[in-house]
Amino acid sequence: MTTFEFNHLVNAHSVSLKSHALKFTNDIEDANDLVQDTLVKAIRFYENFQEGTNIKGWLFVIMRNTFINNYRKLAKTRTLITQTDEISSVNLVHSSTRNHAEGKFVIGDISKALASLPEAYHTPFIRYFEGYKYHEIADMLQIPLGTVKTRIFVAREMLKKYLKTYAKDTHGE
């Protein structure tokens, strides 16, 4: 059997493979992915197929093994994520109890820093922080786009200077 004949025979079974894949996945997109993976593996391992044997059965075995391997990978990934979440939740309990009071100080200092900004810098920075685009802020405030960008940049620099003690703490931890 030539490679072309084999590929044509494999593709002829794609419809029955799709309905079989749907039984495994219960999702049309996942079934399509599973069929595609199966067909790629079948073509890639063409030399392992013994001519005269049941090609449909061979394809179904490839599909089943592919599905099982993908399921195992997914289960392993979920296990790793769960373990990481458990570890981090322990850390979160520790850090949240330790940082509760610190958090109030930080929020207070950020508020003071924002209040210390001159109005010309405060308003564009707050608008940017709220999610507005530069050109939207320029339209709102009736000032040039370049001025908005400069004022937001200057506001960031002023805030960095005001809050520099926190910048040192985050780099040290």
Its sign, for the CA torsion 21, 22, 27, 31, is positive
Cβ neighbours, 10 Å, residue 10: 21
The overall longest dimension of the chain from CA atoms, in Å, is 84
How far apart, in whole angstroms, are the C-alpha atoms of residue 51 and residue 89? 56
Look at residue 78 in the predicted model and tell me its pLDDT.
66
Look at residue 103 in the predicted model and tell me its pLDDT.
61
Characterize 46-71 residue by residue with b for buried, 16 or more Cβ atoms within 10 angstroms of its Cβ, and e for exposed. eeebeeeeebeebbbebbeebbeebe
CA angle 62, 65, 70 (to 5 degrees): 120
Look at residue 150 in the predicted model and tell me its pLDDT.
93
pTM of the predicted model, to two decimals?
0.43
Check if the beta carbon of residue 59 is closer than 8 Å to that of residue 35.
no
Position of tokens 């993908």? Answer: 70
Domains present along the chain, CATH in parentheses: 3-77 (1.10.1740.10), 117-172 (1.10.10)
How far apart, in whole angstroms, are the C-alpha atoms of residue 50 and residue 34? 23
Check if the beta carbon of residue 18 is closer than 8 Å to that of residue 32.
yes
Check if the beta carbon of residue 158 is closer than 8 Å to that of residue 121.
yes
**pLDDT (tens place) for every residue of the chain, 173 residues total:** 777 777 777 777 788 888 888 888 888 888 888 888 888 888 888 778 777 788 888 888 888 888 888 877 777 776 665 444 444 545 555 455 555 555 666 677 777 888 888 989 989 988 888 888 999 999 999 999 999 999 999 988 888 888 777 665 444 44
